[in-house]
Amino acid sequence: MARRTAILSATLALCAVIGTGSSLSYNEENLPSTLNPLYAASMSDFRSQELVFDRLWFHDAVTNELKTRIVQKWEVADEGRAAKLTMMPGIKWHDGKTLSAKDVCFTVDAMLDPKTTSPVAAEYRQVLAGCEAQGNLVAKVKFTKAVHNPRERLGFAVLPEAGFTSTAISPDLDFAAHPIGTGPFKGSRGRRAVTFDVFQNEHHKPTIAQLRLNDAGDPTLAVRSIISNGTQGIIAVPPLLRPELSVSDDVALKSYDLRSWWFIAVNTSKGPLKDKRVREALNLIIDRSELRKLAIGTMTGDQNSPCEFISGPFVQSSPYYNRAVPVVERSDLKKAESLLTAAGLVKTSGTWTSGGQPVNLNVGMLASLNSEAEDLLSQIGNQLSASGFKRIDQKITQDEWNTRVKSGKATEYDLVIGKWSFGLVEEVNDLFHTRTGGEGKMNIFNYSNASVDKILQEYEAARTDTAAQDAYHRLHASLAQELPYLFLWKLDTRSAWRTEVRGNIIAPYYYFTEIDSWKYAR
Amino acid sequence: MKRWWLRPLVRFSAAVALPVAVPFLCVLLLWALPGDPASIICPPETCSGTEELARRWQLDQGPLHYFTSWVSGVFQGDWGNSWRVMTGLAVRPIVEESLPNTLALLGLAAVPVLAGAMVAALEMVKERVDPFLQVLGAVPGVLLALVAAAWQTLRYGPDGEPMAGLLLGAAVLGLADGVLSGSIIGTRGLFSAERKQRYTGVAILRGETVISNTLPNVAPAFIGQLRARGVQLLSGAVVIEVVLRVDGLGDLLWQATLAQDFGLVMPVVTLFALLSASLLFVQALGEVAVALHVRRSPDLGGSAR
C-alpha cells in the first residue's frame, strides 16, 4: 500500500514538474517597440510590460476592484495631497535586489525629471509633485492637488533605482531591451522574438517556465501553427479566420476586452471636405453593413457577431456612449447625392467635380488592420468610386502611423482608416481637442472646433462620474453632427489559446495581469 | 603603360574614401529630411522633449558634429544603441551577430560564381548551354527568393529554419539575376577574344600554354568582372536576407531604414561600404600585381609586345 502511495505521489510530482516547467510560445500583433514602461506606445508594448513589471495598483480582471501586489498598506496624508505607501517586504527585483520605498520615489522622481522624454511621464507630471522615502519601506507620494482616490492615480509601473544612473531616463537605454522589474517574468528582447523567463517572487508564483513572444506575420500561417501546436497562442485572431479555429477541439477562442473602435478620419481642412454637407454625404455613402459582410465576413442579423456598429467615439457598452445617436448602417445614396449637390459639387459623367475639377480622395489605412478586416481599404474605395469619387488607396505602415498620422503631419490624406484602443478609461480628448499647449496630441487632421473643445474641457473639469458622462454624451452627439470622423464599428478582439493552456484569465487591456494563474501542461 | 599606377591609385583612394563618404551621406540625408532629426528618430508621440534627445544623441550641433562624434565613438568601441528597431540594444553585438550570416551567405553564393568563372576560363563550358544560362539569369532574384521562402515556410513552418534559409538564400543569390550566367558567359567571352589574338597562336606554336599567355592580359578585366559580380552579390544579399528572413546585415539595414533608426543604419551602411571597398582594394592589388608581372617580363625587343 505504502509502495503504491509512493509511486502515485512520485507520478503526481512528475506531472506537476512537467506542468510547471513548460515553455509556451504565442504570436503578438507585432514585436514590442520597447520594454521600458515609460515609453510604451503600442498595445504589444503594454501587454509585454505587464509580464515584467508590477504597477502599484491595477484593476482586477474579474471584479474590476483596485488591487495591489506590492503595497502592504496605504493611507491618505496631507489632507489628500499625498499618499503614504508601505511596501510589501521581501519582494525581489529580477537582479536579486530588494524592492524598497526608494525605488517608488526614484520612479516618481524619474517621471518628474524634465530630461525624461517620456509622454507617459509627462502625463504623470500633472498629477505627481514628488516623493519622500521614510525608512526602507514607506514612501510618501505627493500630488499636485488633493485627490479623492489616490490609488487611481498610482497605476504606474515601479522602476528599480539601481537599474539607472540618473533620473533622466531616455528611450534608448539598454533597460528598454533588458528590463529589470518585479513582475512574474524577466524579459529579454531579441531580433525576431522576446523571451520571458519565469522569476519566482514573494508575490508572484507563475507556473509557466518561459513565454516566447513571436511577431504574428501572416495570420493564416499563425492559425496553422496553433492548430499544429507550433505555437500555443495568438493574441488577436482576425474574424475571418475564427471559424477555422472554433471548430478545432484543441484550440479555444477567448474574448479580450480591448474597447477598440474603428473609424475613418476626415481631413476637415482640405478641399470640399471642409463642407459639413460633403462629410455627411460621405457618411451616407459608406455602407457599413456591406463592408462588414465583405471585410469581416459577418452577415446582417448574425447572432454572436464580432462587429457592432457605433455612432460615436465609444463602444456601445461604454457609459459614455450616447444611445440617442443612431448608427448609420446602410447607405442612402439619394440623400448623399442631394447633400453633395447642395454643397456645390457637380456630377459630370458619373464623377463628382468641384470647381470643374474631379474630386480626388486620397484614402489611407493602417496596414496592420488588413489582417483583421481583409481588403477593407479597397472595399471603402470601391464604395466611394461607385458613388462618383476618384480615389487613391494607400496603406500606412505602423511607423508612418506613429510618426506622421498621430502627430497630424499626414495632411496629404483626405481620409484615414484606423482603430483606437482604450483601457478602462475611455478618454478621447487627445483625439478631438484643438492641437494647442499639449492638448489634441493624437488629432489626426488637426480638427479644431471651439464648441467641441468646450465640451472636452467640461469633461476634464468633471468631478463626478455623472458629469463626465454628460459631457461625453454631448461630445458624442456633437461629433456625429460635425463628422470629423465617420465612425464604423467596434470589432471584438478574440485570442486563441491551445486547450492545454488552462486558467488563462485575460485581463482587459493589459492582458497578462493574471498570468500567475495560467497553467500549461503539454 | 607609363602611368600604369594611375588606375589602381584611383581604386585605392576610392576604397579609402568609401567607408567615410557613405555614412557621411547618410548623415546629410538625415538632415535633408523634413523636420528636425531628433523628432524624426523619436516622434513627439513616443518621446516628449526632443531638445533633450537631440542633445543626448549629439544631433543638436549640425551634421558635421554628429558625424565626428559618431566616428570617434566607433573608434572608442562605442557604436551606440539602436533607437527604434531594437530600442535600447547595443548596436555592436547586433552587428557582430549579423556579419557572419551575411559573410556566409556571400561566401556560399560566391562558390558557383567563382567555379563558373574558372570553368569558363578553361573553356569547359560549351556555348550551347548559353541559352539555358541566359534563361536562368533572367529570373529575378526576388522572385526566386519568394518561391524559396514559400517552400521554406511549407517545409519548416512560419519561423523557418536558419540553416535552410542561409543555403536557399546562397543558392538564389548565386544563380539568379544573371550572376552565374554573367560570370560564365562574360569570362568565356574575355578569354576567347584573347585566345584569338595572333600572339596566342605564336605561343602555342612555341609549345606554351594558352592560359599562361592570355591570363596576364585579361587579368585586369577579369578581376574587374569579378568585382562587379561581388558588388552584385552584395546588393542582392539585402533582398535575399529580407525575403528569406536571414539574420544578416542586409535585413538589419532594411529594418533600420524603414524605421529611420539611424543609430543602426550608420554602422550597417559603413560595413557594407567597407565590404565594397575591400573589393575595390583587391581589384587594385590585382592590377598592381599584373602590372608588376608584365613589367618584370623579359624585353623581347619591342615587336613581340
pLDDT digits (tens, 9 = 90+) for B180-202: 888 899 888 888 888 888 888 88
Cβ distance A402 to B90 less than 8 Å, yes or no, reads no
Q: What is the mean pLDDT of residues A132-139?
A: 94
Q: Is residue B152 part of a domain?
A: yes
Residues in A closer than 8 angstroms to B46, CB to CB, are: 33, 39, 41, 119, 171, 402
Q: Where is average pLDDT lowest: A295-299, B14-18, B98-102, B238-242?
A: A295-299
User: Per the structure, how many domains does chain B have?
Assistant: 1
Q: Is residue B174 part of a domain?
A: yes
Flag whether pLDDT at B52 surpasses 80: yes
Q: Is residue B73 part of a domain?
A: no
Q: Is residue B305 part of a domain?
A: no
Residues in B closer than 8 angstroms to A124, CB to CB, are: none
Where do the structural domains in chain A lie, given as residue ranges? 20-213+500-520, 260-493
Q: What is the mean pLDDT of residues B247-268?
A: 91
Nearest to B46 by CA among A31, A120, A437: A120
Q: Is residue B208 part of a domain?
A: yes
Fold of A20-213+500-520: D-Maltodextrin-Binding Protein; domain 2 (3.40.190)
pLDDT digits (tens, 9 = 90+) for A79-90: 889 999 999 999
pLDDT digits (tens, 9 = 90+) for B166-179: 888 998 888 888 88
Cβ contacts from A onto B, under 8 A: 111
Pick the more confident residue, B300 or B51: B51
Buried b / exposed e along A326-339 (16+ C-beta atoms within 10 A) = eebeebebeebbeb
The three cell numbers of residue A458 are: 467640461
Flag whether pLDDT at B56 surpasses 90: no
- Residue A300's pLDDT band (cuts 50, 70, 90): low
Pick the more confident residue, A149 or A122: A122
Fold of A260-493: Dipeptide-binding Protein; domain 3 (3.10.105)
Chain B residues with a Cβ under 8 Å from any Cβ in chain A = 35, 40, 42-50, 52-53, 56-57, 81-84, 86-90, 94, 97, 153, 157-159, 245, 247, 258-260, 263
Q: Where is average pLDDT lowest: A295-299, A372-376, A412-416, B268-272?
A: A295-299
Q: What is the mean pLDDT of residues A317-329?
A: 92
Cβ distance A406 to B45 less than 8 Å, yes or no, reads yes
Q: Containing domain of residue B242, as a range?
A: 6-18+97-296
Mean pLDDT of the residues in chain B: 86
Cβ distance B158 to A118 less than 8 Å, yes or no, reads no
Find the closest chain B residue to A35 by CA distance.
B87
- If DSSP codes are grouped into helix, strand and coil, which group holds residue A194? strand
Which of residues 98 through 117 in chain A touch B, CB cutoff 8 A?
114-117
Q: Which residue has the cell 552587428?
A: B95
Does A147 lie at the interface with B, CB-CB under 8 angstroms? no
Flag whether pLDDT at A441 surpasses 70: yes
Flag whether pLDDT at A412 surpasses 80: yes
Flag whether pLDDT at B300 surpasses 80: no
Query: What is the predicted pLDDT for the residue at A470?
Result: 94
Q: Is residue B91 part of a domain?
A: no
Q: Which residue has the cell 507550433?
A: A230
CB contact at 8 A, B37 and B30: yes
Question: Is the reported ipTM for this assembly greater than 0.90?
Answer: no
Query: What is the predicted pLDDT for the residue at B2?
Result: 66
Distance CA A40, CA B302 (A): 77
Query: What is the predicted pLDDT for the residue at A12?
Result: 42
Q: What is the DSSP string of B171-235?
A: HHHHHSTTHHHHHHHHHHHHHHHHHTSHHHHHHHHTT--HHHHHHHHHHHHHHHHHHHHHHHHHH
Q: What is the mean pLDDT of residues A264-272?
A: 94
Q: What is the CATH number of the domain that holds B288?
A: 1.10.3720.10
Residues in B closer than 8 angstroms to A118, CB to CB, are: 47-48
Cβ distance A171 to B87 less than 8 Å, yes or no, reads yes
Residues in A closer than 8 angstroms to B260, CB to CB, are: 399, 403
Query: What is the predicted pLDDT for the residue at B53?
Result: 83
pLDDT digits (tens, 9 = 90+) for A452-503: 999 999 998 887 888 989 999 999 999 999 999 999 999 888 999 999 999 9
Does A168 lie at the interface with B, CB-CB under 8 angstroms? yes
Nearest to A272 by CA among A398, A360, A146: A360
Query: What is the predicted pLDDT for the residue at A6?
Result: 52
Find the closest chain B residue to A175 by CA distance.
B88
Rounded to two decimals, the pTM is 0.78
Nearest CB to B88; choose among A122, A177, A397? A177
pLDDT digits (tens, 9 = 90+) for A94-110: 999 999 999 999 999 99
